[in-house]
Amino acid sequence: MEREKLTVTIKKDLFPKIDAIIDGRKIRNRSHATEYLIEQGLGINKIKKAIVYAGGEGTRLRPYTLELTKVMLPIKGKPMIMHALDLLKSHGVTDIVLSLGYKGEQIKEYFGDGSKFGLKINYTEEKTPLGTAGPLRLAKKYLNETFFIMWGDILSKIDLDDFMYFHKNNDGLATVALTTVEDPSRYGVADLKGNKIIQFVEKPTKAKAPSNLINSGIAIMEPEVIDKYVPKKGKAMVEYDVYPKLARDEKLFGYPFSGQWFDTGTHEAYERAIMEWK
């Protein structure tokens, strides 16, 4: 990325605040920190669009999901998907596509066009299961610029602004947010070389896991991914059919983050989220 030198004079008491965000990895030095703060202040590289997956049957959460679609199950007095939408909205992401399937009418009835929540919501609906990549094809007309992907049953406290900045400053087509777990054997585990993801190892034993960093269910993608990497028809999975191709082309990056993260896929995980989510 081409840069030009700029000399500025600023108040001396701002330097400690600027230096405080330098971590040696994402923010390398004072010059890099100043550039980051300017971009944040000007709203440059902001992402406005997201697709949120809300079509899963939640079979592991039965009998609760016999009557309610999974993402409408309550956590802290609101549907769990509302926490994901709140996170997006708090970072200025207001143009949302909800990908529906099982009992999708419940979600449509609750959210409508999104206006009462300060959002603009469009819907896609699977007539037959399309996996996690197929919905991207259905939503292609809405996802015509850089966008977030988020699973609606994931609870997370992640700095999406920092995530955006990381993605935009790498020459990648997709960046996956990675969270750390003690036992990664239930998840897709990232094998990293620097910031690049070489591969995801699915459900390795704890001893053979290449790291403790797992796919958090949150990612950023460029529209080019839909055109070049998502199969043109049929059921396809982001995890198995898209990410490996991106990794081979060295266009897949990993963004480790700290902060609360909950998978709600089982009775035990759902109970833990209810008890511990803040």
Looking at residue 85, its pLDDT comes to 95
Q: What is the 3-state secondary structure (H, E, C) of 236-267?
A: CCHHHHHHHHHHHCCCEEEEECCCCEEECCCH
Looking at residue 32, its pLDDT comes to 65
Same domain for 26 and 78, yes or no, is no
Q: What is the pLDDT of residues 84-97, one digit of tens each?
A: 999 999 999 999 99
Looking at residue 88, its pLDDT comes to 95
Point out the residues of the chain with pLDDT beneath 70.
1-3, 24-26, 28, 31-35, 37-45
Q: What is the pLDDT of residues 195-208, one digit of tens each?
A: 899 988 888 887 77
| Phi, psi angles (nearest 5°) of residue 95 | -100, 100
Looking at residue 253, its pLDDT comes to 95
DSSP letters along 152-167, please?
Answer: TTEEE---HHHHHHHH
| pTM confidence score | 0.84
Structural domain that includes position 76: 45-276
Looking at residue 1, its pLDDT comes to 56
- Residue 5 domain flag: no
The residues near 249 (Cβ < 8 Å, ≥ 6 apart) are: 173
Same domain for 56 and 21, yes or no, is no
Same domain for 89 and 164, yes or no, is yes
SS3 5: coil
Looking at residue 199, its pLDDT comes to 87
Residue 63, preceding bond cis, omega within 30 degrees?
A: yes
Same domain for 83 and 33, yes or no, is no
Q: Which two tokens stand for residue 172?
A: 């990648």
**What is the domain-level CATH number for residue 162?**
3.90.550.10
